[in-house]
Structure 1
Amino acid sequence: MIPYWQAPSLKLGPLTIEPFGVFVALGIILAARLLVRNAEKQGLDPTPLADYAPWGVGIGILVGHWVHLFFYHPEELSKSPFQILKVWDGLSSFGGLLGGIIAAVFFFRARKLRFNDYADVFALGVVPGWAVARLGCFAVHDHPGVRTDFFLAVAFPDGPRHDLGLYDAAVLFLFTGLLYALRNAGALKGKLLPLTAVLYAVSRFLFDFLRATDRAYVDARYFGLTPAQYGCIALIAYGVWGLLRRSPGGAAAPPSPSGTMRAAR
């Protein structure tokens, strides 16, 4: 059994740095660096990814908060009419993913770039970054599960429980290893993102059945399922479609003399 230990906050004068925020920031930094590095390895121009990053993060945080507020805990709307703007007060990782997807759709369309050219890059960058961010959930134990005597249970103050933050981080690290192994083997080229969608959606759908329902602050259920589980169904549909569809033809533009690619405008 894993001891219950909560990472402390860091006080810097009037500023309080929460451990969850530290892990999220580290995850974003890691994802951004891996996006650029993998784009360069695939002979793609990394500039659009660097330009996309602040939009993806910003819109991801905003939509992640709205999903948390409107779907998981709508009772919080009664706190204040400005609750929809308090992005630091509750965040859904699935909502953040949705926000990042929305930002990517509009950004790549505005730049007249094919997102499919960068799809593998996104899988190889976002998954490990998401895994690190999920360690923040484990650090503060904000996703308690049902009571259990499983050997990976965390000794919560009210008894041993599954810790979904730990489980989510663990499977994301496993998926990271698989994705990089496939990339190095040259397998499923152009299909890593839909593969990721299926793998993560199946694991998350099953994990959400382990979420606690006997505590004061629990996730909302709709017809017995969490909002994330409905999102998982959509992700599986996208992933299966992406794995079965034929890859469109076309190759990336040749590298410029400086060794980097010219951005398609």
Structure 2
Amino acid sequence: MIPFPNISPDIFAVELFGMTLALRWYALAYIAGLLLGWWLITKAVKTPGLWAPGRAPMVPEQVERLLTWVIMGVIIGGRLGYVLFYQPGRYLSYENFTADPMAALRLWDGGMSFHGGFAGVVVAGLIFARREKIPALPVGDLFAYAVTPGLLFGRLANFINAELWGRPTDAPWGVIFPGEAAQTCPGIIGLCARHPSQLYEAALEGLLLGALIFWLVWKRGWLRFPGRIMGTFIAGYGFARFLVEFVRQPDYQFVSEGNPLGLAFQINGWGITMGQALSLPMILVGLWFLLRRQTP
């Protein structure tokens, strides 16, 4: 077993007028991911040789406006996805909503869904493409090209926050995450080690998938085929997330005595988690974009 590293979720904190203002690693991951993504997209649109007609679908000035739409899509979609997919009873039940109607909007209380953020970015990208009179598929390719560093940073921040850990394991790389919830492991006496599923996702969704997409863009010229890079990302993320879900601890609301694996949908003891259910459509959609016939 590996002890959890002594890393504070806060990079720094200051007291100001009786309030504590802190910069957290999770917030920095979002900021760094968005800024790096903006830089990568700007670099791509400034490289005419990456595109089929020898001209990018947008100019750098439009990338700045695109960043605003992406930020809105990530925040609104990510929060709504968490509320609808993972905590509808907590936020949307009549009793809870009437008691605290603003609870779903309090981002600082935690709770963001990648699948919701993905849907939000898709909607934001479609609106941006229509407003700017740009083909939608190249915009989607640019999103897919730029997003993996942000995923890497985000999953590393999840690990630092000691959240979204995996199921109990006796593997030598199992991590002893702090907190009562992480240490509540049925049938285990003493310290409970868990899969560092955040690091698995960082490696698969961030490093491996990102390296593949960068190679396809810069060495294979796949931006000349609108939709291919987007399809690679969608299918690749869906497949990686589907695999990690086998060792990732599901959200507590899905776990019960009769359902210790936290399966959201099951028949005769066989089933899938909510993360897997949301990833399957991504795999199918991504494969469709990859396999459809297209010439540059």
TM-score (norm 2): 0.76
Q: Deviations for 1:18-73, whole angstroms, at most 9, x for unmatched residues?
A: 22112222112111211111221234223322211112211221121111122212
Q: Does 1:38 align with 2:58?
A: no
Measure how far apart 1:233 and its partner are: 1.4
Paired with 1:221 and 1:84, the residues of 2 have a C-alpha distance of 24
Measure how far apart 1:99 and its partner are: 0.6
Q: Deviations for 1:149-192, whole angstroms, at most 9, x for unmatched residues?
A: 23432222421101222111111211111222222322544312
Measure how far apart 1:103 and its partner are: 0.7
Q: 1:229 to 1:141 in 2, by over 3 A?
A: same
Contact 2:73–2:120 (Cα < 8 Å) also in 1: yes
Contact 2:254–2:263 (Cα < 8 Å) also in 1: no
TM-score (norm 1): 0.84
Q: 1:193 to 1:66 in 2, by over 3 A?
A: same
Contact 2:78–2:115 (Cα < 8 Å) also in 1: yes
Paired with 2:288 and 2:159, the residues of 1 have a C-alpha distance of 33
Q: 1:233 to 1:216 in 2, by over 3 A?
A: closer
Length, aligned pairs only: 248
Q: Deviations for 1:226-248, whole angstroms, at most 9, x for unmatched residues?
A: 33322211111211110112336
Partner secondary structure for residue 68 of structure 1: helix
Higher RCO structure, 1 or 2 (CA under 8 Å, sep 6+): 1
Partner secondary structure for residue 42 of structure 2: helix
**1:145 aligned partner, one-letter code:** G
2:72 to 41, 58, 66: 58
Task: Report what 2:188 is aligned to.
Answer: none
Contact 1:8–1:18 (Cα < 8 Å) also in 2: yes
Task: Report what 2:214 is aligned to.
Answer: 180
Paired with 2:139 and 2:76, the residues of 1 have a C-alpha distance of 24
Which consecutive unaligned segments of at least 5 residues does structure 2 have?
184-191, 256-261, 266-270
**2:272 aligned partner, one-letter code:** L
Partner secondary structure for residue 3 of structure 2: coil
Contact 1:141–1:165 (Cα < 8 Å) also in 2: no
- Give the alignment's Cα RMSD to 1 decimal: 2.3
Contact 1:135–1:169 (Cα < 8 Å) also in 2: yes
What is the identity percentage for the equivalent residue pairs of Structure 1 and Structure 2? 28
Measure how far apart 1:216 and its partner are: 5.2
Paired with 1:80 and 1:186, the residues of 2 have a C-alpha distance of 52
Contact 2:125–2:140 (Cα < 8 Å) also in 1: no
Which consecutive unaligned segments of at least 5 residues does structure 1 have?
250-265
Partner secondary structure for residue 11 of structure 1: strand
Q: 1:82 to 1:60 in 2, by over 3 A?
A: same
